[in-house]
């Protein structure tokens, strides 16, 4: 299993970025996927997740209305569209695959995810 995140960068407050996570080595459509983030000195925190099938999404309260997660099963890729970025969104963003097939996107603990990408840095300047 490999997860490759990309799309991070430096953006001004109020700007947008689109993160991608390309997956390989397993049946992508059978697993829910998640995005987490980790800022220096802070614990890893849940950002969003998406189910298999209909692509039901779940978001952390602090990103609702600003971030949108989606998946393209044909491309084995999940995306995180981030709008109205704030300086407090600065972190390394990591994508992760659910531990079990057909699991719930409401799983928001890092322990609920078995595989992780290397992360992509997002820096939002004020």
Helix (H, G, I), strand (E, B) or coil at 61: helix
pLDDT value of residue 104: 84
Residue 41 pLDDT exceeds 90:
yes
Give 17-35 pLDDT, tens digit per residue. Answer: 999 999 999 999 999 999 9
| 32 Cβ neighbours under 8 A, 6+ residues apart | 49, 50, 51, 52, 97, 98, 102, 103, 104, 105, 107
Report whether 112 contacts 98 (CB < 8 A). Answer: yes
> What are 112's two structure tokens?
């609920």
pLDDT band at 105 (very low <50, low <70, confident <90, very high): confident
The share of the chain scoring above pLDDT 90, in percent, equals 91
3-state helix, strand, coil in the chain (%, to 5): 10, 50, 40
- The sign of the CA dihedral 77, 24, 43, 6 is negative
């Amino acid at each position: 299993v490999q997860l490759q995140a990309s799309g991070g960068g430096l953006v001004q407050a109020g700007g947008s970025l689109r993160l991608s996570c390309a997956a390989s080595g397993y049946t992508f459509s059978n697993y829910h996927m998640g995005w987490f983030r980790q800022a220096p000195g802070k614990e890893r925190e849940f950002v969003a997740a998406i189910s298999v099938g209909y692509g039901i999404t779940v978001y952390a309260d602090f990103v609702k209305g600003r971030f949108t997660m989606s998946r393209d099963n044909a491309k084995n890729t999940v995306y995180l569209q981030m709008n109205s970025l704030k300086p407090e969104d600065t972190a390394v963003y990591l994508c992760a695959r659910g531990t079990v097939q057909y699991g719930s996107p409401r799983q928001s603990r890092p322990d609920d995810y078995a595989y992780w990408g290397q992360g992509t840095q997002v820096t939002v300047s004020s």
